Chain A
Amino acid sequence: MNTLFTNARLIDPEAGTDRLGALLVEDGRIKEIIPASAKLVGKISTQNTIDCAGKCLAPGIVDIGVKVSEPGERHKESFRSAGAAAAAGGVTTMVTRPDTTPAIDNPETLEFVNRRANEAAPVRVLPMSALTRGRQGRQMVEIGFMLDAGAAAFTDCDNVVADSKVLSRCLTYARSLGALVIGHPQDPDLSRGASVTSGKFASLRGLPSVSPMAECMGLDRDLALVELTDVRYHADQITTARSLPRLERAKASGLDVTAGVSIHHLTLNELDIGDFRTFFKVKPPLRSEDDRTAMVQAVASGLIDIISSMHTPQDEESKRLPFEEAASGAVALETLLPAALRLYHASALSLAQLFRAMSLNPSKRLGLDSGRIAPGAPADLVLFDPDAPFVLDRFKLRSKSKNTPFDGQRMQGKIIGTWVGGVSVFGDHA
């Protein structure tokens, strides 16, 4: 079985190129890239040809940090609904979070996740494990067993391991097994009770706030322990300009450190919260416009490696509350690419830069061979029209939960089709 994608605008994040050509897929992998200048006729016999009509063909998105609310809160999101949303959003690999109820902290629950993912989700699912049992920050999980069961990385998500001694032991043990640990840089004491970033906006609204310095403090602590233990470390979300020099120093000194940022911190700022709109409540809270632009530049320079959706489904009941009481998080699997394209349309990032941060880098960080437009790579692909405009209606999202901050907003960029291992999972080509 082979498929030929012709007349495509190929986005190659590895080479940093964006040019016309054709792409041949054979047995679920990319077989050949054919430049636009080459004659196609008679060269290749295919069973299946897809004319991309000059639209963009890019490596599918590898999204680190997706919350699928199974087990525990299947009414908010299931593997079926999250998988459908991912496929519709061009996400070909979901790296799922362990902050479920109960937490994914033993091989048995991880086995459950693997089974559910296999039977219900059309895209690849790589589950992450908690770092400590119950994400309580006291005892480490069976890191070895979890790796054997397929854990992609270890993280307690937004439950920061406050005890530095516990964390240093977890990191030391993880290091001995070569495991990747994902931290949430945040000082848990300084940020206690906060729901927005401190500053003029928060103060006028009278909302409890936290300085972005809490993130710097958490990052400093984590980086010191990384230096001590030499573990492979990824910071899930860097959201403030003041974290950047710290990150730069750590990378320059040779630590195995990478960093991510959520799409919301790249495309929204604190003022979007407006009159207490809880769909804009995320964790860490939205920052100032200066911080937002600094994050965009850091993605452009490569200092921040990875863009994630930080997909966090919340039902209406968790959001229709006074701002302080409302749950944090936003769904984003389906809106990740259209929102990211705002940065492309604003000339802040090229498409190759975007897919470097959304596909290539996360894939490399997890030791996968996807995320590339290159012979031999899995044919995980997304075909999209970067210019097609639409107005987002949250009730049309495939996620069970509809808590998107982009409801009613004008977006530009529609996903035409998604392929996982050469098999169509979204679009008219199925």
Chain B
Amino acid sequence: MTFRQKHLLGIAELQPDDIRTILDLADKYAEQNRAGGPHENVLAGLTQINMFFENSTRTQASFEIAGKRLGANVMNMAMQASSIKKGETLIDTALTLNAMHPDLLVVRHPQSGAVNLLAEKVNCSVLNAGDGAHEHPTQALLDALTIRRKKGRLHRLTVAICGDIAHSRVARSNIHLLGKLDNRIRLIGPSTLMPAGVADWGVEVFDNMAEGLRGADVVMMLRLQKERMDGAFIPSEREYYHRFGLDAQKLAHAKDDAIVMHPGPMNRGVEIDGTLADDIHRSVIQEQVEMGVAVRMAAMDLLARNRKAELQKV
């Protein structure tokens, strides 16, 4: 057990051992979830607040279920509808909540760095549920767990991440995580959706799916936001699908046993072919959702242990 973090703000701050610790515990929770039946109430008596400054259905539900399975008192706050509208700053909102003494704060915010800022101002543990185009650590962890369970290992794999890299926090967290565990990372997408300076990230960059997917063990597709399809970043949806949408033909360039992943929600027919997404032999998209709950249970469990240890010291 080597997990010593107070918060889970990003993968960048984690050591390989931290990652393995979370994944090992998540594996255990995944089995318990499958088996059904009651869980140990390791979060009993703790208050978990989900603060979502940006719309989310699946991530919020996943955190809520994870907390409830472990016995936490979970409260959801739809921040778009609340005080932000009244002109309150992020820090004031944080201080207000802090005064209510929550134990775990799960935060999603549309701006990069906002969760880091908030974490500086509160006493409880903060979990980043996605901030701008910065990090989405639990997504990378659930992806890693899915890969590890399917491939039997999480090193020396060739992982292709395809699509809108520039705006994707999922891509960044995955690049950090897979890189720390010695995997070979390829980024594939149109150059307008590649971040500047990507060449210095220690990854290979392609603008051609056939070349980029050659020999890949894992194919990770990213969601393309609707507002980016209007000619500003790519000419049209159909040209994007033709060149970068994943279908069986393009997937044939990857290894025969390559798995297909997507963080959801999917745009069928834009970045991924619907039939392929449903192909239980290749697509692990449903398993990703399942692992999401397990990983979040593990992350909150570990943070809560550190928090309890810290409180006892005082």
Chain A residues near B (Cβ < 8 Å): 198-207, 209, 211, 275-276, 317, 320-325
Contacts and interface: CB of A to CB of B under 8 A. Distances in A.
B112 A323 contact: yes
B105 to A, nearest CB: 16
A207 B167 CA distance: 9
A207 B111 CA distance: 8
Contact of A211 (B90, B172, B196): B196
12 contacts: A200-B201, A204-B172, A205-B134, A206-B113, A206-B169, A206-B172, A207-B132, A209-B196, A276-B116, A321-B89, A321-B90, A321-B91
B197 A201 contact: yes
A205 B131 CA distance: 10
Contact of A322 (B113, B166, B198, B200): B113
Contacts of A207: 112-113, 132-134
B185 to A, nearest CB: 14
Interface core residue of B113, B195, B198 (most chain A CB under 10 Å): B113
A313 to B, nearest CB: 19
A211 B109 CA distance: 25
A198 B89 CA distance: 27
Contacts of A200: 197-198, 200-201
B135 interface: yes
Contact of A275 (B109, B111, B116, B196): B116
A206 B112 contact: yes
Given A205-B134, A206-B133, A324 B197 contact: no
A211 B196 CA distance: 9
A204 B132 contact: no
B248 interface: no
Q: Is the interface of A mostly helix, strand, loop or mixed?
A: loop
B197 A203 contact: yes
A323 B196 contact: no
Nearest to A325: B111
B112 A203 contact: no
Contact of A323 (B111, B172, B195): B111
B196 A324 contact: no
Interface core residue of A204, A205, A206 (most chain B CB under 10 Å): A206
A204 B169 CA distance: 9
B116 to A, nearest CB: 5
A276 B112 contact: yes
A324 B195 contact: no
A325 to B, nearest CB: 7
Contacts of A275: 113, 116
Interface of B: 12, 89-91, 109, 111-114, 116-117, 131-135, 166, 169, 172, 195-198, 200-201
A203 B195 contact: yes
Interface core residue of A199, A205, A322 (most chain B CB under 10 Å): A322
Nearest to A211: B196
A207 B166 CA distance: 10
Nearest to A317: B89
A320 B113 contact: no
Given A203-B196, A203-B197, A276-B117, A324 B89 contact: no
Given A203-B198, A203-B201, A322-B113, 16 more contacts: A198-B196, A199-B196, A200-B200, A201-B197, A202-B196, A204-B201, A205-B134, A206-B133, A206-B172, A275-B116, A276-B112, A317-B89, A322-B111, A323-B111, A324-B111, A324-B132
B112 A322 contact: yes
Contact of A320 (B89, B131, B133, B201): B89
Nearest to A275: B116
B164 to A, nearest CB: 12
A207 B201 CA distance: 16
A262 to B, nearest CB: 23
A206 B197 CA distance: 12
Nearest to B165: A203
Nearest to A204: B172
B109 A199 contact: no
B114 A322 contact: yes
A202 B197 CA distance: 8
Contacts of A209: 196
Given A200-B201, A320-B91, A321-B90, A276 B196 contact: no
Contact of B132 (A201, A206, A211): A206
Contacts of B116: 275-276
B197 A322 contact: no
A275 to B, nearest CB: 5
Nearest to B175: A204
B37 to A, nearest CB: 40
Contacts of B196: 198-199, 202-203, 209, 211
Contacts of B112: 205-207, 276, 322-324
A424 B131 CA distance: 52
Contacts of A198: 196-197
Interface pairs A-B: 3 shortest CB-CB:
A276-B113, A206-B133, A203-B195
A207 B131 CA distance: 10
A211 B132 CA distance: 20
A320 B131 CA distance: 17
Nearest to A288: B197
A205 B197 contact: no
A203 B193 CA distance: 12
A206 B165 CA distance: 10
Nearest to A199: B197
Contacts of B91: 320-321
A153 B173 CA distance: 49
Nearest to B168: A206
Contacts of A325: 111
Nearest to B115: A322
Contacts of B12: 204
Nearest to A273: B113
A348 to B, nearest CB: 26
Contacts of B90: 321-322
B20 to A, nearest CB: 23
A324 B113 CA distance: 9
A133 to B, nearest CB: 30
Contacts of A324: 111-113, 132
Nearest to B167: A206
A206 B132 CA distance: 7
Contacts of B197: 198-203
Interface core residue of A198, A202, A203, A317 (most chain B CB under 10 Å): A203
A275 B197 CA distance: 18
A189 to B, nearest CB: 13
A23 B171 CA distance: 64
A205 B12 CA distance: 10
Nearest to B131: A206
Interface core residue of B111, B134, B135, B195 (most chain A CB under 10 Å): B111
Contacts of A204: 12, 172, 201
